Chain A
């Protein structure tokens, strides 16, 4: 029997204050009202930042924003702690050139940055690569759209963050993203990729590579969506029109189905990953003494002679 709210008997009550609940957290067996959900959410993000020392010796933080629910929620919370920590924030947005999709989220990103007083720097595929995703999709391409978009976006973000002299770059990956990647990389036998996906840093320890932090590492995607709705960051949640990562789609549905049947599955997966991560990092991370290769074309950090960005770009531009 679910307890009804004392203030509004038509609603289920908050486990803490008995006013009306807006979310049920099956993994914690808790119902939370708006006030207690916002408090719970922000406390969890701030605790994650502290737990992994994400802002240790950071004076200037780049924040990768797309204008979606994850990045705007992350920016909002980071702006709350930036003042007391004397942290400088710069929002970095990459416009992939997707008509009818990215324009809307750029408006939302601009609106929030103005409200928070955070400078926003916009970089575009068109300017940085010579063509946007709409043009790429008209070409005969070998990989799925997300591969091109992801590689190009990461390349631009890293270079932008470095040129802006950011000490670290915050990205909006959430708990769902992390556990999906964990399972996908296990199933694809690509354990080296798992080493990159931790809460701080990447696989490369190099002065040209700006380490990434993931403040939403422990936050389920649904809770971020609710946080974004409550703050009116976003009114709709339409997917990218080119989204076609079929394997991730299957994994996402599978994990969400497990979470529904066995609440807490996502956190259990994350805990398993956290315990394996140190072993993975020590096996796959570049040692400080090792020189990280630079792409012979673009001079950016690369695992091979030519980086993935340049290889993909070459494939697209071939007649």
Chain B
């Protein structure tokens, strides 16, 4: 799966994962409270699932300042 982490810098990773997005976020150490998630371009919730053929974009939206 292609995973794009849109933080201060854009990081693109290839990850092997199938399952609930919340489990993936937990694996990556990302709190769902601070991100919006897009699966194949559509906004989804952390309760949705993802598989190895998907593209997942994790957009950090809470920084402050």
Contacts and interface: CB of A to CB of B under 8 A. Distances in A.
A31 B64 contact: no
A125 B32 CA distance: 36
Most A CB contacts (10 A, CB to CB) among B6, B35, B42, B62 go to B62
B36 interface: yes
B43 interface: yes
Interface string A110-147: 00000000000000000000000000000000000010
Contacts, number: 80
A12 B45 contact: yes
Interface in B49-65: 59-65
A12 B36 contact: no
A239 B47 contact: no
Interface residues of A, number: 35
A243 B63 contact: yes
Interface of A: 2, 10-12, 20-24, 31, 69, 146, 176, 221-222, 225-226, 229-230, 236-240, 242-243, 245, 248-249, 252-253, 256-257, 259-260
26 contacts: A2-B47, A12-B47, A21-B47, A22-B43, A22-B44, A23-B43, A24-B32, A24-B45, A31-B45, A176-B62, A225-B62, A226-B61, A229-B36, A229-B59, A237-B61, A239-B63, A243-B63, A243-B65, A245-B64, A245-B65, A248-B64, A249-B64, A256-B31, A256-B33, A259-B33, A260-B33
Interface of B: 6, 8, 31-36, 42-48, 59-65
